[in-house]
Amino acid sequence: MAATPLLELSGIDKSFGPVQVLHDVGLSAYAGEVTALVGDNGAGKSTLVKCVSGIYTIDAGTVSFDGRPVTIHSPRDAAELGIEVVYQDLALCDNLDIVQNMFLGREKVRGIVLDEPTMEQMAGDTLASLSVRTVKSLRQLVASLSGGQRQTVAIAKAVLWNSRVVILDEPTAALGVAQTAQVLELVRRLADSGLGVVLISHNMNDVFAVSDRIAALYLGRMAAQVKTSEVTHSQVVELITAGRSGTVGLPPERPDGNGNGNGVAVDITPGGDQ
- Given a contact cutoff of 8 angstroms between Cβ atoms, the answer to whether 200 and 212 are in contact is no
Rounded to two decimals, the pTM is 0.86
37-82, pLDDT tens digit by residue? 999 998 999 999 999 999 999 999 999 999 999 999 999 999 999 9
Return d(Cα 227, Cα 267) in angstroms, integer: 9
| Confidence (pLDDT) at 251 | 87
Confidence of residue 265 (pLDDT cuts 50, 70, 90): very low
- Given a contact cutoff of 8 angstroms between Cβ atoms, the answer to whether 201 and 35 are in contact is no
Return d(Cα 180, Cα 186) in angstroms, integer: 10
Domains of the chain: 1-82+164-274 (3.40.50.300), 91-162 (no CATH)
| Confidence (pLDDT) at 258 | 54
Beta-carbon contacts of residue 205 (< 8 Å; ≥ 6 apart)? none
Mean of the per-residue pLDDT values for the chain?
88
User: Does the pLDDT value for residue 205 go beyond 50?
Assistant: yes
Pair type for strands 19-29 and 68-70: unpaired
The b-or-e profile of 160-195 (16+ CB within 10 A means b, else e) is beebbbbbbbbbbeebeeebbebbbebbbbbbeeeb
Q: Which of 200, 221, 218, 199 is nearest to 11 (CA)?
A: 221
